[in-house]
Amino acid sequence: MERIRKQKGQAAVTDALFFLIIVMSLVSFMFLFSSQYGRTVGEYSTSKYGSDYATSALKTILYSSFSRNDFPISSDEAEVDFLIAAIKEDYAFNENIDYFKNDLTLSVQSVMKPVRNSFDYLFFIRVDSTPFSFPYFFISRKEFTSVYDEDGIFIESVDVTEKNYLCNSDNSVTQQDIDSFIIFVGAQGQAVSSISFPLLSGSTKEGIVQLVLWTPKDFNETESVFEKLKCVSA
């Protein structure tokens, strides 16, 4: 009788241990699932917000107005025009963007200012010639001054510097170089629009305008994928 009671006791303890293992496994699974779910939702929200903002920002940049004669737009003396019309006019003369490059840069920076603390970004115009040409290519990013311990392990960021660049300075950048950089930084939102450039000869060249956003990434100007973009300070 005593032996039977011991066996029942051992069986009860074994059942309790199995039950405890099952409960602990379920708790661990629920914890991992909830934490991963929260992370996934956060990444999706950031990406969705970045994509929505990029789409709206690109439209605003393309159809923004500016003053051709440097008077304030609100002034009666201002010669107001669409910036994209001036850019096309600029390109038609020598198949490059020179005269209105600064106006375009100021417009891009102005439109992107509301999300400047959350995202870095690039904006470029590509003309579908053979090979592709990039008459305008702008990048705005933040560079971190970080502290590392003696083993090279990151401790903290102590300073953040905003840096702006005009890229493709030697006209050697390729679409592959840009794609590699976008993969490296991890795009959180992007928008593309087609564009046509009428030439003085009467022909037309097609192209695209693209805006890409990403959460700030800690790298410096010697990073190989960045060096290939041939950027100079703007």
The answer as to whether 23 is a domain residue is no
The answer as to whether 29 is a domain residue is no
Is residue 36 scored above 60 in pLDDT?
no
The answer as to whether 11 is a domain residue is no
The answer as to whether 41 is a domain residue is no
Q: What is the domain range of residue 123?
A: 46-233
pLDDT in tens, 77-135: 677 888 999 999 999 999 999 999 999 999 999 999 999 988 999 999 999 988 899 99
Strand partners, 212: 122, 190
The answer as to whether 137 is a domain residue is yes
The answer as to whether 175 is a domain residue is yes
pLDDT at 129: 85
The answer as to whether 147 is a domain residue is yes
- Mean predicted lDDT score pLDDT of the chain: 82
The answer as to whether 10 is a domain residue is no
**Which pairs from 216-221 meet CB under 8 Å and 24+ separation?**
216/119, 216/120, 216/141, 216/142, 216/144, 216/160, 217/120, 217/141, 217/184, 217/185, 217/186, 218/144, 218/146, 218/157, 219/184, 220/143, 221/143
pLDDT at 32: 59
pLDDT in tens, 146-157: 666 677 666 566
pLDDT at 142: 92
- How many distinct structural domains can be found in the chain? 1
